[in-house]
């Protein structure tokens, strides 16, 4: 019997947690003991269970009894088990059994039990991911989808909730694609293909391709390319590729517009990677990445190990010789500055030379004569004040000469006194 859309909506919206919880502890088909309820939805429930014959821990998806006579729902339920078995990929959850309970007639799928959490929970915790992390998580899923497409299976419901990040006993992480419930086997008989009526939309709206939103017939792997692009967009930016206040507005937006550039939502995402994601989200099928293999290959070519722009090297600025602009700077100060600027290490100042308090040092400069107290020569000052310019005595004026800085030495040479009591500076 065909499914009535109104009945499907009302049943899927009906809370099933109470009914599902009542099954905990039951023995399904005389073999599977239901240990605990993992999750419940409108279509059924998932349990952690144990195969009492082998002792293996498994996950069992039980279809709600209300759908036991619904041909369309049953076809989708069987298709999920058949599709996963048909592909047999390490990044697709393994289906172990499919059956019907002999006691109350409910249908069930037995799958491998996975430890971990889905991608939605991961994204809710960490927010936007680095390009490396996003690609590492999605590449195995894309390889699984490529294998599915090669077997004629289109998933049609790519979303973070259907990507499970499984943790193995050894700590290895294996992303796995789950829930092929609305997958489409493109080589099935025409009567089975007609179970999905053209003009109906199947999938999660935020990740549906434009052709899915329009209800087009003849969907192929490029719809999954779009779905993966929408998930990668959200992983990299922390934002949905398309948002709208209601379902109808969202459908119109997906069909008629392009997503906001990743450069605006996540400027740190490299332009090359953003371009790959946007090509997957191209509305035109002809312009979109042609296959999941092409999408995966484009990501593999992207240099994830390429280092980002290195920071500027932290090299100490080279010390430059400072030549004071003020003419007539005291030679004792200039000598000390020269020693410091050329990297000479002066561990201690020379011992002060006893001088009469009135003794002054005469310094000959091109434009003026400057005098500083001799006591200033005894030790290097902590701060160099701007020298005071005074008129030069006529007797002290000599032809202008260039003051040359002495080569670096450990300590200044001793100063000698002239006959008139002035200090004689070294040449």
Q: Is the pLDDT of residue 157 over 50?
A: yes
- The lowest-confidence range among 134-138, 251-255, 339-343 is 339-343
| Mean local confidence (pLDDT), 297-323 | 53
Write down the pLDDT at residue 213. 94
| Mean local confidence (pLDDT), 359-381 | 40
Cα dihedral 183→200→255→229 (10° resolution): -10
Q: Is the pLDDT of residue 324 over 60?
A: no
Place of tokens 């959200």: 234
Q: Is the pLDDT of residue 296 over 80?
A: yes
Write down the pLDDT at residue 49. 97
Taking a C-beta distance cutoff of 8 angstroms, is the pair 25, 34 a contact? yes
Domain boundaries, the chain: 10-112, 121-301, 325-427
Q: Is the pLDDT of residue 308 over 80?
A: no
- Predicted confidence (pLDDT) per residue in 19-74, tens digit: 677 889 999 999 999 999 998 887 889 999 999 999 999 999 999 888 888 888 89
Reported confidence tier of residue 162, pLDDT bands at 50, 70, 90: very high
Of all residues in the chain, the percent with pLDDT exceeding 70 is 61
Q: Is the pLDDT of residue 251 over 50?
A: yes
Write down the pLDDT at residue 228. 98
Question: 368 vs 333, 399, 415, 418, CA distance in Å?
Answer: 17, 11, 22, 21
Reported confidence tier of residue 278, pLDDT bands at 50, 70, 90: very high
Write down the pLDDT at residue 415. 57
Q: Is the pLDDT of residue 124 over 90?
A: yes
Q: Is 10-112's fold the same as 121-301's?
A: no
| Mean local confidence (pLDDT), 257-283 | 96
Write down the pLDDT at residue 292. 98
Q: Is the pLDDT of residue 358 over 80?
A: no
For 86-119, b where at least 16 C-beta lie within 10 A, e where not — what string? bbebebbbbbbebbebeeeebbbbbbebbeeebb
Determine the Cα–Cα distance for residues 388 and 371; give it in Å rounded to an integer: 8
Our answer to whether residue 101 is catalytic in this structure is no
Q: Is 156 left (phi over 0), alpha (psi -120 to 50) or beta?
A: left
Determine the Cα–Cα distance for residues 154 and 165; give it in Å rounded to an integer: 21
Angle of helix 131-150 relative to helix 292-301, nearest 10 degrees?
Answer: 150
Q: Is the pLDDT of residue 277 over 60?
A: yes
Nearest 5 degrees, angle CA 47-CA 148-CA 111?
A: 15
- The lowest-confidence range among 66-70, 97-101, 144-148, 177-181 is 177-181
> Rounded to two decimals, what is the model's pTM?
0.64
Class of domain 10-112 as given by CATH: alpha beta
Q: Output the DSSP codes for 44-76.
A: EEEEEEEETTT--EEEEEEE-GGGTT-HHHHHH
Structure-model confidence comparison of residues 249 and 6, the more confident one: 249
Write down the pLDDT at residue 189. 34
Residue from 83, 59, 106 nearest 182 by CA = 83
Reported confidence tier of residue 160, pLDDT bands at 50, 70, 90: very high
- Predicted confidence (pLDDT) per residue in 79-105, tens digit: 888 888 889 899 999 999 999 998 888
Determine the Cα–Cα distance for residues 1 and 8; give it in Å rounded to an integer: 13
DSSP state of 92: B
With residue 5 as reference, give the H or E element that holds it.
helix 5-13
Write down the pLDDT at residue 75. 87
Write down the pLDDT at residue 406. 46
Cα dihedral 73→74→75→78 (10° resolution): 130
Write down the pLDDT at residue 203. 56
Q: Is the pLDDT of residue 111 over 50?
A: yes
- Output the average pLDDT for the chain: 74
| Mean local confidence (pLDDT), 349-358 | 44
* Active-site option among 157, 170, 179, 224: 157
Reported confidence tier of residue 320, pLDDT bands at 50, 70, 90: very low
Q: Point out which residues pair with 372 in neighbouring strands.
A: 361
Write down the pLDDT at residue 377. 38
Question: 122 vs 91, 175, 235, CA distance in Å?
Answer: 17, 12, 10
Write down the pLDDT at residue 207. 95
Fold category of 121-301 in CATH: Transferase(Phosphotransferase); domain 1 (1.10.510)
| Mean local confidence (pLDDT), 229-239 | 97
- Predicted confidence (pLDDT) per residue in 194-209, tens digit: 334 444 444 578 999 9
């Amino acid at each position: 019997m065909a499914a009535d859309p109104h009945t499907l909506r009302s049943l899927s919206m009906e809370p099933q947690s109470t009914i599902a919880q009542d099954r905990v502890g039951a023995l399904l088909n005389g073999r599977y003991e239901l240990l605990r309820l993992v999750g419940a939805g409108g279509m059924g429930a998932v349990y952690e269970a144990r195969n009492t014959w082998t002792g293996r821990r498994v996950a069992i998806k039980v279809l709600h009894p209300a759908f036991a006579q619904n041909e369309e729902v049953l076809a989708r339920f069987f298709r999920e088990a058949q599709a996963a078995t048909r592909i047999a990929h390490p990044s697709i959850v393994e289906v172990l059994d499919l059956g019907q309970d002999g006691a109350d007639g409910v249908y069930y799928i037995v799958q491998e039990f996975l430890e971990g959490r889905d991608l939605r929970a991961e994204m809710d915790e960490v927010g936007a991911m680095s390009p490396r992390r996003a690609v590492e998580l999605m590449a195995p899923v894309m390889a699984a989808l490529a294998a599915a497409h090669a077997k004629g299976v289109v998933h049609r419901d790519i979303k973070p909730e259907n990507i499970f990040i499984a943790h193995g006993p050894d700590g290895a992480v294996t992303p796995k694609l789950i829930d092929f419930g609305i997958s489409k086997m493109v080589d099935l008989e025409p009567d089975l293909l007609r179970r999905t009526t053209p003009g109906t939309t199947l999938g999660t709206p935020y990740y549906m391709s434009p052709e899915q939103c329009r209800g087009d017939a003849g969907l192929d792997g490029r719809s999954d390319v779009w779905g993966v692009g929408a998930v990668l967009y959200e992983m990299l930016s922390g934002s949905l590729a398309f948002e709208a206040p209601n379902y109808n507005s969202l459908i119109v937006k997906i069909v008629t517009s392009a997503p906001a550039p990743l450069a605006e939502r996540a400027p740190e995402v490299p332009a090359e990677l953003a371009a790959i994601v946007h090509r997957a989200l191209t509305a035109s099928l002809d312009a979109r990445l042609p296959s999941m293999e092409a999408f995966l290959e484009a990501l593999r070519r992207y240099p994830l190990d390429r280092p980002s722009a290195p920071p500027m090297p932290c090299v100490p600025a080279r010390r430059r010789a400072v030549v004071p602009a003020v003419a007539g700077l005291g030679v004792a100060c200039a000598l000390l500055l020269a020693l410091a600027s050329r990297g000479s290490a002066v561990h201690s100042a020379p011992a002060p030379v006893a001088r009469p308090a009135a003794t002054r040092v005469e310094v000959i400069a091109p434009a003026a004569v400057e005098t500083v107290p001799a006591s200033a020569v005894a030790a290097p000052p902590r701060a160099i004040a701007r020298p005071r310019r005074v008129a030069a005595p006529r007797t002290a004026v000599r032809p202008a000469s260039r003051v040359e800085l002495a080569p670096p030495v450990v300590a200044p040479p001793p100063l000698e006194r002239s006959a008139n009591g002035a200090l004689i500076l070294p040449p």
